[in-house]
């Protein structure tokens, strides 16, 4: 079994993902009840999103182990890092599994969200000008994403915070994306993530998202990424 560096190990824990060895990929339970994010994210959406959409990504990814036996020896992060080696089913479903596990851990009930750390806030102010400017840029990326995809706050290879958008189930860990980095926060802007409650009002969904961001987890990811 290949050893993982401390930063990657920490990111895996923060994403709600198990640590190797792997026989197949597992879907961890939600870290809160399905109604815990009301009213920002409604219970029905959470139930369908987790038990149907995310589960399908995990099941479909595991089905690819027959074609790529080495997958059962890799972490989900390692799969992303060499995604160009695999077919579109691994790319879409492997990305879908990582992204959703990461997303669930990025959220928390409003009384458990915590606050952005002093250290992270300092770099947000440095790289974006202010926390409000950071939020505005993130919101613009979310509403401006054409079709389905994700919006991310990453720490890039230059050590700077950056907001990036990826199509479909791509993410900044993949070796095929234009802008790579360690993801700190992600927002799912596929319609299945919000349509039952918000219909076509993605801007309202994005605004509500900020009330359930798990800053405790984001802070931990940032600390792990800068080490």
From 143, 28, 8, 169, select the one nearest 78 (Cα to Cα). 8
DSSP of 214-227, one letter per residue? -HHHHHHHHHHHT-
Residue with tokens 């790579």: 180
From 200, 21, 221, 197, select the one nearest 103 (Cα to Cα). 221
**What confidence score (pLDDT) does residue 214 get?**
99
Residue 19's Cα: distance from chain center in Å? 17
What are the mean pLDDT values of the chain's consecutive 10-residue runs (227 residues total)?
Answer: 41 52 82 98 98 98 94 94 98 98 98 98 99 98 96 98 98 97 99 97 98 99 96
Q: In the chain, what are the domains?
A: 1-18+42-227 (3.55.40.20)
DSSP of 122-184, one letter per residue? HHHHHHHSSHHHHHHHHHHHHHH--SSEEEEEEEETTS-EEEEEEETT--TTSTTSSS-EEEE
Binding site feature residues for Mn(2+)? 49, 100, 188, 192
Binding site feature residues? 49, 100, 188, 192
**What confidence score (pLDDT) does residue 16 get?**
56
Residue with tokens 């400017």: 133
Residues 42 and 196 sit within 8 Å (Cβ to Cβ): yes
Residue 92 has which token pair? 């879409």
pTM score over 0.75: yes
**What confidence score (pLDDT) does residue 2 get?**
30
């Amino acid at each position: 079994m290949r050893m993982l560096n401390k930063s990657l190990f920490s990111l895996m824990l923060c994403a709600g993902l198990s640590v190797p060895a792997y026989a197949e990929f597992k879907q961890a339970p939600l870290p809160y009840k399905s109604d815990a994010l009301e009213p920002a994210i409604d219970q029905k959406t959470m139930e369908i999103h987790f038990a149907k959409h995310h589960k399908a990504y995990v099941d479909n990814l595991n089905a690819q182990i027959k074609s790529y036996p080495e997958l059962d020896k890799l972490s989900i992060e390692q799969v992303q890092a060499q995604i160009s080696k695999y077919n579109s089913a691994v790319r879409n479903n492997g990305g879908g599994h990582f992204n959703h596990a990461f997303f669930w851990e990025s959220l928390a009930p409003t009384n458990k969200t915590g606050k952005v750390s002093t250290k992270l806030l300092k770099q947000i102010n440095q790289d974006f000008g202010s926390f409000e400017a950071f939020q505005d840029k993130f919101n613009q990326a979310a509403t401006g994403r054409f079709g389905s995809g994700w919006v991310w706050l990453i720490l890039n290879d230059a050590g700077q915070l950056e907001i990036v958008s990826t199509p479909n189930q791509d993410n900044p860990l993949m070796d095929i994306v234009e802008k790579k980095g360690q993801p700190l926060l992600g927002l799912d802007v596929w319609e299945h993530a919000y349509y039952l409650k918000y219909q076509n009002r993605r801007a309202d969904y994005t605004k509500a998202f900020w009330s359930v961001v798990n800053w405790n987890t984001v802070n931990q990811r940032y600390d792990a990424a800068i080490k």
